[in-house]
Structure 1
Amino acid sequence: MSSTKPLPAALKRWAEQRIGPVVSVRDASHSWDRSRVWDLEGGSGVHRYLKVSPSVKFFTRESRAYRHIVPALGHTRAPHLIDSRAQDLVLLLTAVPGAPVKELGLDTAQWRTVHQQAGALCARLHEAGELDRGDRVKAEASLSAAADGAEKYLARAGDRLDHDEQQLVRDHAARLRRVGPGPVGYIHGNNQLRNWLWSTSGLALVDFERSRPAARVQDFVILATTQWADHPDREKAFLRSYGRELSDAERHALRCLSALDAVNCLAWGPDNGDAEVTARGRRTLDRLMKEDRP
């Protein structure tokens, strides 16, 4: 667990110029070092969030998403951008109601309802406007780009994978390069329970720093390797409200992407002390090994 991160005084002054006096500040960062998020409470009890992006790339992605894509989700379904300042990589956002879904202890029917609403929100996001020419080129190349990252992940993971597991990842990367073109759009990029907030108003999505033009199927990888692996009813509820089943090509791509996600988890998780991510990678890799080599 990281120590509490103080909000820099200059950023507090900048925020107060836009939202008025701030009476309390709470560190709302995730546990990893590069996460910097604060909950700002105003005098009227209204909460906003100030986020400092971990990189120029993430700031650019997130600020663009909030300006041009996220509004398609609708009121209360995602934060809205109040202001941003590129030189400090800072975003000032409204708050949305709710708590992270994973903390709520939902029953079977509630889980299906959550996934049903998530499917509808993802459909809105993926269909939020036509991609321009440059974005379409990036989106259509996104699966090949994902495959190209396999060797980097394998090098970082090192001996956390044995020879056969490394070969499985390479095989899936090669297969992914052969997947034909599929539906593309603007994806969330980190679509998982941690970024789903549930309240009486319904589901909201947060954290758009990985949003980008890409193959739409890339938004389903974490769900497929966590929620859907053991709960096919949740997948069914999601896809019903998403508006269509995945094609055979997308199913094939999803399997290949799951292998790449596994090695990425096993590279990143142990190095950052994230047991949950590490466990996700190991579980996925073990499942793929059993299915490919029974």
Structure 2
Amino acid sequence: MSVRDASHDWDRSRVWDLEGERGVHHYLKVSPSQKFFTRESRAYRHVVPALGHTRAPHLIDSRAQDLVMLLTAVPGTPAKQLGLGGAEWRAVHQQAGVLCARLHEAGELERGDRAEAAASLNAAADGAEKYLARTGDRLTQDEQRLIRDHAARLRRVGPVPVGFIHGDNQPRNWLWSEQGLALVDFERTRPAARVQDFVILATTQWADHPDREKAFLLSYGRKLSDAEQQALRCLTALDAVNCLAWGPANGDDEVTARGRRTLDRLMREVRP
């Protein structure tokens, strides 16, 4: 057996690619926390099977005391790394919309899950002050005011559809191959407002490519409701301040740039 480090480029990521007889691959993952282990192992048992046999890894075994999971491998390369053209990106988003819909509709939420999902937008709004405190002087007074205003608006958007979300729904977790698209990395999968799964896409992929958004939502099966559209705008503002708190603190220029770009766009829309 050969072992290759397959961790992401952050210090709490611990994943190994295990290649056994006849080139069969498995992945050994050590979760960064008990919360992530609980979310991901539960997702593999109760939510991920709804995606289909080849559309996500499957959990072979787990060891809770060590936060370890042994997973099957699925074919493909992260879409982000492939240098895809416009038509290829639309095809990727079309399949992502299908898989996202399956995930969001994967079974009835239990009572506790439904309560957690119903509270998820307020929980997101609650994080605004924490992230604002961490940004220090990187935001102007007007920018801080905009963040607080969107946090307050988020609390007033009203009921939106809920379900299990992926939680980190973006092309680095979409594996693309000749067999189609597969989703990976379910450590943030949880009951929440479904629209929360579109925030990173809205601030990156869809910001300059509305054709990709159109392809995604067409295969997702419906347009976003007015309440979801309002929530998404507010959530992008909160994502911006989160990025501007986390990115500089962790030396992640890409995340920092995402936050700055989103915040600049929102400021222009408020004050053209």
TM-score bracket for the superposition, by shorter chain length: over 0.9
Count of equivalent residues:
272
- Mapped partners of 1:144, 1:201: distance in 2: 39
In structure 1, the residue corresponding to 2:9 is in which secondary structure? coil
In structure 1, the residue corresponding to 2:23 is in which secondary structure? coil
Which residue of structure 1 lines up, in the alignment, with residue 150 of structure 2?
172
* C-alpha distance after superposition, 1:260-290 (max 9, x if no partner): 0000001111111111111100000000010
Which residue of structure 2 lines up, in the alignment, with residue 91 of structure 1?
69
Equivalent in 106, 119, 132 of residue 154 of structure 1: 132
The CA RMSD over aligned residues, in Å, is 0.6
In structure 1, the residue corresponding to 2:22 is in which secondary structure? coil
- 2:264 aligned with 1:286, yes or no? yes
Q: Aligned-pair distance for 1:233?
A: 0.4
Q: Aligned-pair distance for 1:43?
A: 2.1
* C-alpha distance after superposition, 1:47-89 (max 9, x if no partner): 1001100000000000000000000000110000000000000
* C-alpha distance after superposition, 1:114-168 (max 9, x if no partner): 0000000000000000001110011011000100000011111111111111111
TM-score by length of 2: 0.99
- Mapped partners of 1:113, 1:41: distance in 2: 30
- Mapped partners of 1:32, 1:164: distance in 2: 32
Equivalent in 202, 224, 233 of residue 202 of structure 2: 224
Equivalent in 239, 250, 256 of residue 261 of structure 1: 239
- 2:193 aligned with 1:215, yes or no? yes
Which residue of structure 2 lines up, in the alignment, with residue 4 of structure 1?
none
- Mapped partners of 1:77, 1:292: distance in 2: 41
Q: What residue identity is the alignment partner of 1:147?
A: A
Equivalent in 6, 10, 32 of residue 32 of structure 1: 10
Q: What residue identity is the alignment partner of 1:280?
A: R
- Mapped partners of 2:251, 2:171: distance in 1: 19
Which residue of structure 2 lines up, in the alignment, with residue 121 of structure 1?
99
- Mapped partners of 1:272, 1:30: distance in 2: 14
Which residue of structure 2 lines up, in the alignment, with residue 53 of structure 1?
31
Q: Aligned-pair distance for 1:186?
A: 0.3
Which residue of structure 1 lines up, in the alignment, with residue 250 of structure 2?
272
- 2:48 aligned with 1:70, yes or no? yes
Q: Aligned-pair distance for 1:44?
A: 2.2
Which residue of structure 1 lines up, in the alignment, with residue 22 of structure 2?
44
In structure 1, the residue corresponding to 2:202 is in which secondary structure? helix
Greater alpha carbon shift after TM alignment, 254-263 vs 158-167? 158-167
Q: Could you list the runs of 5+ residues in structure 1 that have no partner in the other structure?
A: 1-22
Which residue of structure 2 lines up, in the alignment, with residue 101 of structure 1?
79
- 2:205 aligned with 1:244, yes or no? no
Q: Aligned-pair distance for 1:293?
A: 1.5
- Mapped partners of 1:39, 1:206: distance in 2: 14
Q: Runs of 4+ in structure 1 displaced over 6 angstroms?
A: none
- Mapped partners of 2:44, 2:137: distance in 1: 40
Greater alpha carbon shift after TM alignment, 225-234 vs 39-48? 39-48
- Mapped partners of 2:136, 2:8: distance in 1: 26
Q: Could you list the runs of 5+ residues in structure 2 that have no partner in the other structure?
A: none
Q: Aligned-pair distance for 1:26?
A: 0.6
TM-score by length of 1: 0.92
In structure 1, the residue corresponding to 2:15 is in which secondary structure? strand
